[in-house]
Structure 1
Amino acid sequence: MSAPKYKAKSKINWSKIFIIGLLGLALLAFILQSIPSSGRSQPVAQQQPPAQAPAPPPFTDEGDLFITDGETGEQKARVDIELAQNANETAQGLMYREEMGEDEGMLFFMPTFEPQSFWMRNTLISLDIIYLNEQQEIVSIMPNTTPLSEAQVPSGVPARYVLEVNAGFAERKGLEIGDLMAW
């Protein structure tokens, strides 16, 4: 007969106890956060008023743009233009502006000659969006855009430049595809 075997005393696994304790504390914190806070003050971040839209930048006249009839060369319109020549200026565009002068607009220089698309996010006024090719010829006119819309306003054809003017400008000035612009 062999000698009886004794069971070794089990060791306490402190790492498991520590992990279980942490999980318990996390669960308790979650439960306490979900209980309505009657009488408790809200965190400072929740007490602050919502952020206001930034003040619109003033119009900056950076040049004159002339639109001429593509067949006769007769001048149809002149526009004071503000330029959007880099990614930041293009992203800002005419956002937050509440008005723009009758013969004012913004000219965008796109990095590539390809179909372009704009939207009216944070744009408070309706615009005509006029797309131009590399020869500065009108290739597409998207009139009377919807303010604050995130719907895409596509050129439908490749464009290199984009002119934004007040809604109805293209119709009032008789602008057509094939008209030329120079600035």
Structure 2
Amino acid sequence: MLFLRSRLSSLAIAVMSVVFIATASSHLCAQQLVQVQQFDPLTIVTVNGERHVFKVEKADTDEKRQRGLMFRKELPSDQGMIFDFGDPIPVAMWMKNTYIPLDMIFIRKDGSIARIAENTEPLSTRVIDSGEPVLSVLELAGGVTSKLGIKAGDRVEYPIFKKTQ
């Protein structure tokens, strides 16, 4: 009986150690994820003068632009991702490996919205194009633009956009 107890105690300690290590690891990974995701404020100003502020992640490298919001299971309605292409170019995007519907906002160099692709279809390989050269694409949770009344012609305030007089 003593042998069985000490063996059970050793087993219990081993199990508790694994649980502790797994918990600490997942906590550390969550902390690292929070540190990796850096958000900047971005404002959309409608033609009616309404201002909508979002927290956005920057996709400003080839690697970040290629991954985008793939594999995410959720996106809060006040967050998004902005793709900075550096110079205005025709843009074509798709939803492969993207599990949530998105609103894709195609933005000109001056910050004006060229077009919006609303509620894009998750996991689709259908090409969604900008329709004209754009400097940037802003991805928000699907349905947000309609809910907030954001339309083509509205303006985006963010450091990459040059203001016109």
TM-score (ref. length: structure 2): 0.71
Deviations 1:101-125 (A, max 9, x none): 1110000001331221110010000
Give the number of the structure with larger relative contact order, counting CA–CA contacts within 8 Å between residues 6 or more apart.
Answer: 2
The separation in 2 between residues aligned to 1:134 and 1:156, in whole angstroms, is 14
Aligned equivalent of 1:129: 104
Aligned equivalent of 1:153: 128
TM-score (ref. length: structure 1): 0.65
**Correspondences of 1:38-117 after superposition (within 5 Å):** 60-70=37-47, 72=48, 74-117=49-92
Deviations 1:109-145 (A, max 9, x none): 0133122111001000000000000001100100010
Q: Does the 8 Å contact 1:66/1:75 carry over to 2? A: no
The separation in 2 between residues aligned to 1:109 and 1:95, in whole angstroms, is 17
Give, in angstroms, the shift of residue 94 of structure 1: 0.2
The Cα RMSD (Å) is: 1.8
Give secondary structure in 1 for the equivalent of 2:122. coil
Give, in angstroms, the shift of residue 156 of structure 1: 0.9
**Stretches of structure 1 lacking an aligned partner (at least 5 in a row):** 1-56
Structure index of larger Rg: 1
Aligned equivalent of 2:4: none
The separation in 1 between residues aligned to 2:105 and 2:81, in whole angstroms, is 10
